[in-house]
Amino acid sequence: MVKLRRLLMGAAFALAAFPAMAGELTFWHAYAGQQDKVDFINFALGEFAKKHPDIKLDVVAAEQSAYKTKLNTAMASGNPPDVFYTLPGGFLNAFVKGGQMYALDQDLAKDGWRQSFLESAIAQTSKDGHTYAVPVDVDSVVFWYNKALFAEKGWTVPKTYDELMALAEKIKADGEVPFALGNKDSWPATFWFQYLEMRLKGSGVVASFVNGDAKATFGPEGEKAFERVAEIAKKQYFPTGFNGMSDQEANMLFLNGQAA
C-alpha cells in the first residue's frame, strides 16, 4: 500500500448535555456491519456493565450513513441518546453550537484520563477551550493494493504521484478499475481533494474551515487539487457511476479483485 503519511481522528464518543447517568443509558454507535468494531464495543460495554450492574444499557447500532441521519433527527427533536458515536470537527461542532453537548473537561482531568489520549486527537474533539468527546480510534489514510493482481500483471508499486497516474493508465488498459471509489455519500471523494491540496501546499486550510475561521480560503492549490480530481475522473480511473456507488460497494470491487 502507498501511505499518504497523514493520520487523522476517525471517530469519538460523546455525551448529550443532560445524560441520564442512573437507571438507564442509551448508547448509539455507527459500527453496524463492522464486526471487529462491534466486538470492541461489546467488550467495552461488557466491562462497563460489570462495574455498573445497576445501570441498564439500551444499545442502538446503525450503518454509518443511516446513523448520521438518525442522530441528526434525534438531536433536532430534542431526544438525543445519552452516549453516542460522533465524527470530529464540523459534525460535532454543530451540536456544540446548539448547546446540546456535555463538556468532559472535569472528567478528563481525573486519574490522568486526558493523558491516555493523543493530544492531536483530543484537539479534534475540542472547541473554544472545552472537550466534548473522547477519541475511540485513529484512522490512517492509505492506498490498499491487490498484491496478487500486481504480481500477475507485473505492475510495480508506485512511489510518486506521477508513477501512480502512469500505473492507473496501465491498469485501465488491462481492463481493470484503477481506484475503487464509491462517492454516493459525498465524503469519500473529499479525501482525494483534501490530500492533494495538502500535498500542494500543506496549508491545513480544511481544518480552518471546520473550525469556523471566517478568513479561511483556498489559494491556487485548492483549484489545482480540484483539477487533478476532475482529471482522474475524466480519465475513468474511478468505477463507472462512482458518484452513485456507496463506499461499501466500492470496497467490494476491491475485495472481489475487480479493482486494483
CATH number at residue 251: 3.40.190.10
pLDDT tens string 102-142: 999 999 999 999 999 988 888 888 988 999 999 888 777 88
Q: Tell me how far CA of residue 145 lies from CA of 3, 102, 150, 239, in angstroms.
A: 11, 42, 8, 15
Residues 84, 203: one domain?
A: no
Look up cell 462491534; give the residue: 38
Residues 14, 136: one domain?
A: yes
How many domains, in total, are found in the chain? Answer: 2
Helix (H) or strand (E) holding 85, with range, is strand 83-86
Rounded to a whole number, what is the distance in angstroms from the first to the last CA of the chain?
11
pLDDT tens string 158-208: 999 999 999 999 999 999 999 999 999 888 998 999 889 888 887 667 777
Residues 74, 40: one domain?
A: yes
Which residues constitute the domain of residue 12?
7-140
Of 88, 116, 140, the domain-final residue: 140
Residues 136, 162: one domain?
A: no
Of 85, 120, 140, the domain-final residue: 140
The helix/strand/coil state of 243 is helix
Query: Binning pLDDT at 50, 70 and 90, where does residue 20 land?
Result: low
